[in-house]
Structure 1
């Protein structure tokens, strides 16, 4: 029998609201919210365990629940008031999942090829930029995305939204800059840092071997530690007045040059 919750003041709903709003609550509980049919479907395909499904029947009829290949512990019908409290977007389809987080550790990364293409982003601050990076990485089917010194957790609703669910489709890990550099060196991955100093044009480099493309923030770029361990700094030549571009755009240019060299294999 499907449960029903109609009040936004319900204790459980208040707990879910905190999961939506607070990173520390997500880390403490090991749970997070996923909103939208496509996003939930991608999470299930990516091996995420769905704990609970909540649906607002005026937007998402009960009969549509069987499209999800998941067996949640609970299925709860919610009212418009509850849905509006939990929904991050005003125009989603009326269904929200509560899923279990994954441990995104470097030691869990597995590469399918001997020459992986890896995107590394150091200390990205804006969830929208992280989401765009993940979306670009998915489009190019890179082997892994590694976030160095993350400023927010991967299950921030803004990251899920801006990545259109690609946070679930990418092979992702997080770690400190030192840990990631050591990991790359141990796996014989060449490090190419997007930086102005001592750089060469990106398209002159050979990205067909095991490669990590490393990007920093638009404001401060990469830390000195990355530059000290870079095999080669690379630059995208600018033809206008500015000397930098949005980090996700820059990453996209670098990634697809590497894919071009690899003939999209």
Structure 2
């Protein structure tokens, strides 16, 4: 493994990486993004992401550790503390970053491996932290796919990677418009259960053992009418306090794990 040293923040490559970290437009234009941390990089490798470059700060992450992280021949760069702090997103640091190639996530690229899938759909989630939490829930439940309708955030936003603790790389994820996703689900005869207050029944009274998509919206606006008009059934989590909604990732967890309970966690 050949390693070179970059010590200047003005280095053109480093300046490009700062843009990748900070700007969704740059990530989309180049098809590249930054990954920070051992666990996240390991999950990206597990998820068959192609890594282009590894950067490490040797006082926090040694070449010996680097050799154990991946067996592939990669371009590796030693960087200074100043550069590492400029590129790192997190306060708790491990001294390693990777430049990776993004994947296409169109709904047409989504392949379902099971005849009886369980899918989680989130419409227009805005906060990267909520998206990351939803992806962690999906990973914990081992759902067959996560679909994001009308996405507001770039999937490779550093906060999504951080808050998902790398689950963004191992979940099967697709994105599209609400109309495209409804067409996809109906073509595959997947039941659509929408978390909504209107014309709804308690979630635990439904049968989620058949092909199922559970749809959640934002706390502020809920789901669009297109979902409600095409639902197999609207479902609700009974609320016993003074408010009528909860965090979208919490609601998704309750609904998905009820489906898993009915399926005996298979």
Matches within 5 A, 1:56-71: 56-71=57-72
Q: Pairwise CA RMSD of aligned residues?
A: 0.8
* Corresponding residue of 2:150: 149
Partners of 1:186 and 1:241 in 2: CA distance = 40
* Corresponding residue of 1:196: 197
Answer with 102-111 or 31-40: which moved more.
Answer: 102-111
* Corresponding residue of 2:177: 176
Partners of 2:235 and 2:165 in 1: CA distance = 29
Partners of 2:69 and 2:108 in 1: CA distance = 30
- Any idea what SS the aligned residue of 1:33 has? strand
How far did residue 179 of structure 1 move? 0.2
Taking a change above 3 Å as real, the CA distance of residues 72 and 178 of structure 1, as seen in their structure-2 partners, is farther
* Corresponding residue of 1:166: 167
* Corresponding residue of 1:104: 105
* Corresponding residue of 2:121: 120
Matched, 1:77 2:78: yes
* Corresponding residue of 1:38: 39
How far did residue 151 of structure 1 move? 0.5
Taking a change above 3 Å as real, the CA distance of residues 175 and 148 of structure 1, as seen in their structure-2 partners, is same
Q: Give the TM-score, by structure 1 length.
A: 0.98
Partners of 1:67 and 1:261 in 2: CA distance = 41
Aligned residues: 265
Preserved contact between residue 50 and residue 71 of structure 1 (Cα < 8 Å): no
1:125-172: CA deviations, max 9, x gaps? 000000000000000000000000000111000000000000011000
* Corresponding residue of 2:207: 206
Answer with 34-43 or 4-13: which moved more.
Answer: 4-13
Matched, 1:11 2:15: no
1:87-142: CA deviations, max 9, x gaps? 00121210000000000121222222211000000000000000000000000000
Partners of 2:163 and 2:8 in 1: CA distance = 29
Partners of 1:223 and 1:252 in 2: CA distance = 21
Partners of 1:141 and 1:249 in 2: CA distance = 16
- Any idea what SS the aligned residue of 1:82 has? helix
Matched, 1:215 2:222: no
Q: Give the TM-score, by structure 2 length.
A: 0.98
* Corresponding residue of 1:253: 254
Partners of 1:70 and 1:109 in 2: CA distance = 29
How far did residue 67 of structure 1 move? 2.0
Gapped regions of structure 1 (runs ≥ 5)? none
Deviating beyond 4 angstroms after TM superposition, the runs of 4 or more aligned structure 1 residues are: none
1:180-233: CA deviations, max 9, x gaps? 000000011000000000000000000000000000000000001110100100
Preserved contact between residue 51 and residue 72 of structure 1 (Cα < 8 Å): no
